[in-house]
Chain A
Amino acid sequence: MADIKNSASTPSSDDHHQKIERANVEAVNKAGERSLYAPRKKIHPQRAKGKFRTIKWFMMLFTLGIYYITPWIRWDRGEGMPDQAVLIDITGRRFYFFFIEIWPQEVYYVTGLMIMGGIALFLVTSTAGRMWCGYSCPQTIWTDLFLAVERFFEGERNARIKLDKAPWTFDKIYKRVLKHIVWIWIALLTGGAWVFYFSDAPTLYQQILTNSASFDAYFWIGLLAAFTYLLGGIAREQVCTYMCPWPRIQAVMMDEETLAVMYRYDRGEPRGPHKKNESWEGRGDCVQCRQCVVVCPMGIDIRDGMQLECIQCSLCIDACNNIMEKVGRPQGLIAYDSLKNFERRKKGEENKFRIIRPRTLFYSFLLAVVGTIMLYSLLNRSELDVNILRDRNPLFVQLSSGDIRNGYTLKIMNKSEVEQKYSIEIEGIENYSIRAEGIEEHTVDGAPIALVTRDKLRSLRVFVTIPEENLESDSVDITFAVSAIDGDEKDVQTTSFKGPDK
């Protein structure tokens, strides 16, 4: 490389062309210097002050508060049941969420929640762009938190740039070590809070304090801590730019009416430095102070227009507004704006913010539909659930009397909080006899009564026998009606009764 530079800077000795203007420069993108790999350029965001920064601090407090406090909320479910409001009990195969208790076969509630989350994201994105990224994504929240720590120990932007370049003196080592210690602590607390969602929080907390928790707990704390430290402390904006698929997808949810953080070039250009008492005539409002650039945690210039890297955190709005106030110009040179408004202003029209559009209406409608279905199914959720597995091998058994017997496995799920007795009756055939293995108690009509302990599934072998002459064909539909003896819970399941070919 050094050779190339030297030869390029050597003036030509061709005498005939002495008058030709020559530049002593290098091609920026010279083939020999082009690298296949781009080194990361460190970003040193300056702290912004203003409305949006305040909102972001509040959002950080709010979301971290939810994250750390939720596992500690108690919810009384009665004797022998976990009293944690939100608990994902993997070994017990239950998910508790306040008054809701979800069994593994009801995982569609979680699916529904995720669908709702997805549609809500679409709705927010089509309304006001990457609100999720800018304000509530964990990556943004934790990066913000790690940055605050960095700023506390190493100082503001300029001090940090200086510190980066400084030799490894005691002062630098001391600041760096302290910063990383606090980062690791935050990371450990993040992983620590995570495991509380999967186990009784106070018990696990005691176990962690006395170093007697299970290996799994330490493993997950360690894993989450490592990734929190890596993603929030080290990788930061690289996660959003290179790892996250959302920046690539979100463009399809946005249209010309979608609000986004934008530089109003029609007002700002032509830009340039401005002196006090100088006229604003014939020039734009942008004074080229680059405050929007220095506060940007993604290291971009918002004045270049909408970019994939921009998480729309709005900090540049704060930075610009402060400057506009100082130079005595109206705020909002960088603001939430829509592409359509640029056209409107060009035509001399007023700014309009059309939040209600077919697209947002459609997403809202979808959200309402899914939400209604979810709510309906949740409110009508039965505390009794029955699954019937018909014997397939053999399909039926002929007894010595000639009668035909079919076997069924009934899985009776008692989701209530008390022990329940259920009667098992059959509809659809006549002259039948029913026998359930291990059941002695029967109703006056001879229907077996099964006792199922609360919050448990009981698997029951049931044999139904009918005389062959009562069978009209080789397959007859029959219905099992399982109903609570004390209560109105009832589940009706239809299956078939098989016999020999007719």
Chain B
Amino acid sequence: MSEENKKIDEFSGVETTGHEWDDIKELNNPMPRWWVWTFIVTCIWGFAYMFLYPSWPLINDYYKGYLGETNRDRVHAELSMVAQERGQFSERIKSMDLEDIDTDRELHVYALEGGRAAFGDNCAPCHGTGAQGFVGYPNLNDDDWIWGGSLEDIHYTISYGIRGVHDDTRLNDMPAYLRDELLTRDEIESVATYVQSLSDKSVTASSEGQNLFMDNCALCHGEDGKGLREFGAPNLTDAITLYVTDRDSIVDIISYSRSGVMPTWNGRLDEATIKSLAIYVHSLGGGE
């Protein structure tokens, strides 16, 4: 600003900066000196901070700081502290029976929250974040269990999987009646009608279909069609199915079979996590 442009405010006698908004002028009062000193101190603080902590990018690396401390190290240290604190809970969960964990109020809450987290990480991709399931992937909230819904059953299923790689995995194999030429197309049609009639009272089935069911399906699904858990054969009479309920789907399943796979988690997750998962799934509302 040149000397001529300097304006003096007539009331205060103080020079103005020349900035003016709606006749309001900005006075160019000097700053208090302590304010300036505070500013200088914060600048020094900033440089000291840059010196002590990681700050500058270098060509292949970055300046690590005089203290060599990083937030990442701090997080690791805190995480290992948390793991240590959790250790005692994990040990207790590992050594205790599922029933006992479920009734121990403190452990139950811990297992439930741990299970919830582990479920989100490991199970949600197939079963959904709310365990609501998808076609072919069972809903874990309901009361229909193909392989059993007690704590022990759920724990076993999670540990060894279904059609998994472990020797103890849950395993069954429904024949593909058309592909393996066990039944003709027409026969399959009449069995399908019978299966439909099990859960839908408005459908009437022929006696041929019933006979074929007794001969071919009742061994696993039971004469009443209510399924047998030892074989992992689903209940065909209830309102819930793993796959779609329309007639075409039933025909499709009888013809070509279905065999979904659940991985073996034993060895991939530690025992405390698997137990926590069992307790969490059991708590979703359908646990037996």
Contacts and interface: CB of A to CB of B under 8 A. Distances in A.
B235 A393 contact: no
Interface stretch (B30-38, B174-182, B254-262, B263-271): B30-38
B55 to A, nearest CB: 26
Given A391-B130, A407-B285, A461-B283, A398 B142 contact: yes
B144 A39 contact: no
A397 B142 CA distance: 6
B204 interface: no
A398 B262 CA distance: 23
Given A397-B142, A399-B240, A400-B235, A437 B283 contact: yes
User: What secondary structure prevails in chain B residues at the interface with A?
Assistant: loop
Nearest to B132: A394
B139 interface: yes
Contacts of B143: 399-400
Interface stretch (A30-38, A72-80, A167-175): A30-38
B142 A40 contact: no
B239 A402 contact: yes
B240 A242 contact: no
B30 A36 contact: yes
Contacts of B235: 400
A37 B36 contact: yes
A438 B130 CA distance: 21
Interface in A386-441: 391-394, 397-402, 405, 407, 437-438
A402 B201 CA distance: 13
Contacts of B132: 393-394, 397
Interface string A69-105: 0000000000000000000000000000000000000
Contact of B30 (A38, A407, A438): A38
A374 B129 CA distance: 43
Interface residues of A, number: 28
Contacts of A34: 30
B65 interface: no
B54 interface: no
B30 A35 contact: yes
A313 B265 CA distance: 76
Size class of the contact patch on chain B: 20 to 34
Interface string B161-200: 0000000000000000000000000000000000000000
A235 interface: yes
Nearest to A31: B3
A397 B285 contact: yes
Given A37-B30, A399-B240, A394 B141 contact: yes
Nearest to B145: A400
B128 interface: yes
A238 interface: yes
Contacts of B223: none
B133 to A, nearest CB: 8
Interface in B92-148: 108, 128-132, 139, 141-144
B172 to A, nearest CB: 20
Given A405-B285, A461-B283, A397 B32 contact: no
13 contacts: A37-B32, A38-B30, A40-B34, A238-B34, A392-B130, A393-B132, A394-B128, A394-B130, A394-B141, A397-B139, A397-B286, A399-B239, A400-B239
Given A39-B33, A407-B285, 20 more contacts: A29-B15, A36-B30, A36-B31, A37-B30, A37-B32, A37-B33, A37-B36, A38-B29, A40-B32, A40-B33, A235-B34, A394-B130, A397-B139, A398-B239, A399-B142, A400-B239, A405-B141, A405-B142, A405-B285, A437-B283
Q: Which 7 A-B pairs have the closest CB atoms?
A: A393-B130, A400-B238, A394-B132, A402-B239, A38-B30, A397-B141, A400-B144
Interface of A: 29, 31, 34-40, 235, 238, 242, 391-394, 397-402, 405, 407, 437-438, 461, 463
